[in-house]
């Protein structure tokens, strides 16, 4: 948990952690489950974006709920979106789902 918080404090650290986790999942699919690199990257892309939309609402508090509405903005907009942290959590969730899908479904022709 502290690794995620500390990596989310910096955009380069967030990018590096996301790339490392993504590379590990794709490498597992290519070497362990006999997928092509392009097939693994394509499937991972779809899983990552789906996971992003599932993770985005977690921990979101609106500006109205936080009591700090910025003038000219929508009161329902997030007070602190924490996008770097959500990118890391999305990658972790996507890695788990991706490896599970690749292990369960016969995708060797992909």
Residue 87: what pLDDT? 92
User: In whole angstroms, what is the distance from residue 99 CA to residue 95 CA?
Assistant: 6
**Residues in the chain with pLDDT < 50?**
none
Q: Phi/psi at 98 (nearest 5 deg)?
A: -60, -50
For residue 93, what pLDDT is reported?
A: 96
pTM for the full predicted model: 0.83
DSSP 76: T
DSSP string, 11-34: HHHHHHHHHHHHHHHHHIIIIIH-
């Amino acid at each position: 948990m502290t690794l995620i918080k500390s990596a989310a404090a910096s955009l380069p650290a967030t990018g590096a952690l996301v790339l490392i986790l993504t590379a590990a999942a794709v490498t597992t699919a290519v070497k362990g489950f006999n997928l092509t690199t392009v097939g693994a990257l394509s499937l991972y892309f779809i899983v990552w974006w789906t996971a992003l939309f599932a993770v985005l609402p977690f921990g979101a508090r609106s500006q109205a709920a936080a009591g700090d509405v910025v003038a000219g903005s929508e009161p329902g907009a997030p007070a602190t979106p924490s996008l770097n942290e959500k990118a890391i959590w999305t990658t972790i969730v996507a890695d788990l789902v991706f490896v599970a899908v690749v292990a369960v479904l016969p995708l060797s022709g992909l």
